[in-house]
Amino acid sequence: MRRRRGHEALVIRSNLAPDPSSCEFTADDASPFLSRGTLHTRSPNPYLLAPLMESRLTAMMGQESVRTVSLMGAKIDLAIGPITVEDAQGNPTFSCAAEGANPCFGEAERAQLATAAVTKFRSLFSAPLPPNGGLVAATFDLIPTQAIREIERKAGALAAGARLRAQVVATAKVYGKVGGGEVESLPFTYPVTVCSDCVVTVGKACSDTPIGFKPRAGNPCNPFQDGAVDCCTNGAALVCPAVGTMP
């Protein structure tokens, strides 16, 4: 396949914020966006990125279709660290860095995580990006749940009341086809904090929560990321947003 190295073909402008009532995004310069992310460690789903992408290709009138980029996916690289754990009194009990004297993952571990598609992988999606400054919004998985599990494994079991926080810096390059060749965007770097004490507020058991309770609903795409959600418990499971069953 003939590959075009012109990074000017497209660029990721920002990570769009969803409509508060639905997991929908508007491809518009004026749309609100997020400058960083948060993801709770109990999230059952990957962190979802919603990039606003802009074409830098030009086309004469009537030639727009042949200059439309058929987007195919994103190439993702994750850098994990630092990771810190504090006890219930706020005293540090564990820490490691992305690099340096106390790295979170050694060279062999990093290679293994990349080979296992935990920190280096392709996240697929499909969308058309028209030329002449055209915009399109799409979504793709940025941080897999396996990365969360690796962070928890490295930090070790948490004592009651302990808090875990980890920085994950994701670099994404969106790619696609146009004119028989492949184009790729400039790198888009986006930080996400993975944490055990953010986003989610756990209340009572669902059976002890009144039917009329109105919880904070959180992010409509994934209530465990980028927002605030009130949850109740159903045995060992979390129900987010909370659904009260007590009359």
Please provide the DSSP assignment of 190-206 as one string: EEEEEESSSSEEEEEEG
**Residue 113 three-state SS:** helix
Q: What is the mean pLDDT of residues 107-135?
A: 95
Using one digit for the tens of pLDDT, what is the confidence trace for 180-200?
A: 889 999 999 999 999 999 999
Angle at alpha carbon of residue 92, lines to 89 and 95, rounded to 5°: 155
Tokens of residue 55, six digits: 């074409």
The distance of Cα 244 from the centroid of its chain, to the nearest Å, equals 29
Q: What number of other Cβ atoms are within 10 A of residue 90's Cβ? A: 8
Q: What number of other Cβ atoms are within 10 A of residue 108's Cβ? A: 8
Q: What is the mean pLDDT of residues 105-127?
A: 96
Task: Please give the helix or strand (H or E) that residue 238 lies within, else none.
Answer: strand 237-239
Tokens of residue 68, six digits: 């439309």
Using one digit for the tens of pLDDT, what is the confidence trace for 23-71?
A: 999 999 999 999 999 999 999 999 999 999 999 988 778 777 778 999 9
| pTM recorded for the entire structure | 0.90
Using one digit for the tens of pLDDT, what is the confidence trace for 1-20?
A: 344 444 578 999 999 999 98
Instruction: Find the largest Cα–Cα distance for the chain.
Output: 66
Among 133, 189, 126, 123, which residue's Cα sits nearest to residue 9?
A: 133
Q: What is residue 4's predicted lDDT score, i.e. its pLDDT?
A: 45
> What's the CA gap between 43 and 200, in Å, rounded?
10
* Residue 34, C-beta contacts closer than 8 angstroms, at least 6 positions apart: 14, 15, 16, 17, 226
DSSP category for residue 18: P
State the sign of the Cα–Cα–Cα–Cα dihedral 26, 37, 11, 172: negative
> What's the CA gap between 151 and 133, in Å, rounded?
39
Using one digit for the tens of pLDDT, what is the confidence trace for 194-222?
A: 999 999 999 999 999 999 899 999 999 99
* Angstrom distances, CA of residue 102 to CA of 93, 227, 231: 14, 32, 36
Confidence of residue 247 (pLDDT cuts 50, 70, 90): confident
Q: What is the mean pLDDT of residues 126-137?
A: 94
